[in-house]
Amino acid sequence: MSKLVPPHGSKVLLPLLLEGKERDAEIAKAQKLPKVPMTSRETSDLIMMGIGAFTPLRGFMGYEDWKGSCNSYQLPSQGNLFWPIPITLSAEPWVADPLKAGDEVALWDTETDALMGTMKVTEKYVIDKELECKQVFRTLDAKHPGVQKVMEQAPVNLAGPVKVVSESYYPEMFKGIYQRPVEARAQFEERGWTTVAALQLRNPMHNSHAYLAWIAIEVCDGVYIHQLVGKLKEGDIPAEVRVRAIDALVNKYFRKERVMQGGYPMEMRYAGPREALLHAVFRQNFGCSHLIVGRDHAGVGDYYGPFDAQTIFHEIPSDALALKPLPLDWTFYCYECGTMASMKTCPHSSKAVIDDEGRYKGGARLLLSGTLLRKLMSEGKMVPPEFSKPEVVAILKEYYDSVEQKVEIKLHGHATGAAKV
């Protein structure tokens, strides 16, 4: 019997991906079914259901579950099981109108024009998009990328159980680290891990992230560096480059038997605190007992307070999840402390000053901005080793050199330099 945390709301993982003859038959049948095009977010959610990362969901949500997850984090269809963000499928009226309950449809990814699965339609409904945005994103600002997607999605929602026939709509992104929950769990068990902390990552791993990983290893059996390999925002560093940078870091500065890398396909919603809860749900399905929640988890811009994603875990019922958050404060290098530190440990409030050449000029806390980091790298200047290990900087520099100079690369992290996790 596994000593890992159980999947969410279920004794076993419930992957909806078909294999072998069953899959072949479903693909053949799907050719004759009415097509429902999916946005990249919907496709990524379907794949999450396919691999069992959204256990125990059986398909796209109906109205009651949509409303329940928006308003009270609950799915009425599953005995009010905890679920923090609606997982829905939208359709244009000319797609939805001819359909009736009981009809089967083929689910196609719009961008790649690939068949991803099928669904038995059980319900058609219209949602209050503003309600969803207010509850999930805490804003109606059309500039918020998550709000924008919801407001732009087609007006009718279709619900029903799905069968998934593909998990590789962007195959090139999946190289190397893409894993299904069942694979991650098997590897954790092989390593003899019982407690596993997930480190959510969508940016290169600098020293602040490494520090979080070291702390997690001190309190858990191992750390699972879990990267987004789904669709990224323009200017994001590709997964392949991030993976190499992490490898370089892990090979030199970690006990390898305590670290595992994995990739998951879910598109970011940038819902900050609510998304942290969804990250918790699917990390539990991957077998993680803890989720590191640092500053600005899954946020974007200034829509959320830096630690909203930590406090939200106090607002949900204590038995909502088997996974527990590992809330960690804002971390940085402090020249006065002479080590990595956090707001919780370091008494020195002054900022360290780094000049245009990357040289330390005094002060305590190293708050290196993404813009300065990019400038230093593009001009071949030194990046302070206190911010990022030279092995990581070398790989990033190689990548930036390969990107056309004219393209403005927007490095993540605020002007404060604290990398978002």
Q: Does 366 bind Zn ion (CB under 5 A)?
A: no
Strands (E), 273-334: 290-293, 324-327, 331-334
Site string for Zn ion, 161-200 (x = CB under 5 A): ----------------------------------------
Considering only the stretches 89-97, 127-135, 269-277, 344-352, report the one whose residues sit in contact with Zn ion under the rule CB under 5 A: 344-352
Q: Decide: residue 347, CB within 10 A, 0-12 exposed, 13-18 middle, 19+ buried.
A: exposed
Per the rule left: phi > 0, alpha: psi between -120 and 50, beta: everything else, 413 is: left
Tell the smallest beta-carbon distance from residue 411 to Zn ion (Å).
Answer: 25
Report helix, strand or coil for 2.
Answer: coil
Q: Decide: residue 184, CB within 10 A, 0-12 exposed, 13-18 middle, 19+ buried.
A: buried
Region 313-342 residues binding Zn ion, contact defined as CB under 5 A: 334, 336-337
Instruction: Let me know if 251 is a catalytic residue.
Output: no
257 or 360: whose CB is closer to Zn ion?
360
- The single residue of 203, 207, 274, 295 carrying the catalytic annotation is 203
300 or 354: whose CB is closer to Zn ion?
354
Q: Decide: residue 407, CB within 10 A, 0-12 exposed, 13-18 middle, 19+ buried.
A: exposed
127 or 352: whose CB is closer to Zn ion?
352
Tell the smallest beta-carbon distance from residue 295 to Zn ion (Å).
Answer: 17
Helices (H), 153-272: 181-190, 207-219, 239-253
Q: Does 103 bind Zn ion (CB under 5 A)?
A: no
State the pairing for strand pair 259-264/35-38: unpaired
Total of chain residues touching Zn ion, rule CB under 5 A: 5
Tell the smallest beta-carbon distance from residue 208 to Zn ion (Å).
Answer: 14
Q: Looking at 58, 348, 351, 381, which residue binds Zn ion (CB under 5 A)?
A: 348
Closest CA to 68 of 82, 48, 57, 54: 82
CB 230 within 8 A of CB 268: yes
Tell the smallest beta-carbon distance from residue 350 to Zn ion (Å).
Answer: 9
Cis peptide before 56 (omega within 30 of 0): yes
311 or 349: whose CB is closer to Zn ion?
349
Q: Does 229 bind Zn ion (CB under 5 A)?
A: no
Dihedral angle sign, alpha carbons of residues 19, 24, 29, 35? positive
Instruction: Let me know if 283 is a catalytic residue.
Output: no
Tell the smallest beta-carbon distance from residue 163 to Zn ion (Å).
Answer: 55
Tell the smallest beta-carbon distance from residue 340 to Zn ion (Å).
Answer: 10
Per the rule left: phi > 0, alpha: psi between -120 and 50, beta: everything else, 287 is: left
Q: Looking at 346, 366, 411, 419, which residue binds Zn ion (CB under 5 A)?
A: 346
* Residues making contact with Zn ion (CB under 5 A): 334, 336-337, 346, 348
Residues annotated as part of the active site: 202-203
